[in-house]
Amino acid sequence: MKFFRSSSNTAGSAVPQKLTRRSSGMGEISRLLNSQETLCVLDMGATSANNIRFFTGKGHKNYSEDLLRSSLDPALRVQDGAGNTVVDSKKFLDENLVYATAQFDVVLCWNLPDYMEESLVKPTIDRLWSVMKPGGFLLAFFHTRDAGPDSTCYRYHVTGTDMLEMQEIKFAPPGRPAADKQSPRLQRVFNNRHIENLFRDFASIKFFLARDAIREVLVVR
């Protein structure tokens, strides 16, 4: 079992606080990135110049696809037979993650599974399995049961081999004006068994526990 540290620093009282964390999962992925050339990396967080610089600077191809933002598209909301509003997962996958089979060497999910609509999580992981190369790495972060529903949703900027900068994300909920931005709510907390089931088609799974109610999961396709 491995642990990694989380820390914070401020450059001044008027400057927004920048949180950083050391990531063991990112460290393992960096070793892969440093040992091979022209890998395909899929970053599923919000568009980050840091991340694009980090990956392309090492000669790799960077694909950006902000799936959390895409999943909030009001056009995905449809009425089911009982009149309930549900998310159309088929339409979602018709419009997102449309790549050739076995294309990616590295997929960075970050905290997407915790904040995405429940009905989209398993179909998304299954699609990721099909677009990843055998032996490819997937990194995801999951809250532990200690995290409350109002725990802050972050995007992650890679600032070093195993260092991440965390920046709070805020979105306007579907159908609301942009001025109503708020941090997405934690949808659920996966336990270890849930996580293993989610990635049961993958070859191996490794957990890294942290002190800040987050566990990192590094999965090999």
What does the binding site for another protein look like in residue numbers (CB under 8 A)? 46-50, 52-53, 56-57, 59, 61-66, 69-70
Going through the chain in order, the beta strands assigned E by DSSP cover: 3-4, 6-9, 18-22, 40-43, 61-64, 77-79, 85-87, 104-110, 132-143, 154-158, 163-168, 204-210, 214-220
Minimum CB distance to another protein smaller for 63 or for 202? 63
Contact 97, 44 (CB under 8 A): no
Minimum CB distance to another protein smaller for 122 or for 181? 181
Minimum CB distance to another protein smaller for 98 or for 203? 98
Contact 109, 97 (CB under 8 A): no
Separation CA 138–CA 128 (nearest Å): 9
Separation CA 64–CA 72 (nearest Å): 17
Minimum CB distance to another protein smaller for 60 or for 215? 60
Q: How far is the CB of 69 from another protein (least distance, A)?
A: 7
Q: How far is the CB of 165 from another protein (least distance, A)?
A: 12
**In the structure encoding, which two tokens stand for residue 62, read together?**
């960077």
Q: How far is the CB of 199 from another protein (least distance, A)?
A: 25
Minimum CB distance to another protein smaller for 61 or for 206? 61
Q: How far is the CB of 178 from another protein (least distance, A)?
A: 11
Contact 67, 47 (CB under 8 A): no
| Beta-sheet pairing, 214-220 with 204-210 | antiparallel
Contacts for 197 with CB less than 8 Å, ≥ 6 apart: none
Minimum CB distance to another protein smaller for 42 or for 87? 42
| Beta-sheet pairing, 104-110 with 132-143 | parallel
Q: How far is the CB of 65 from another protein (least distance, A)?
A: 5
Q: How far is the CB of 106 from another protein (least distance, A)?
A: 14
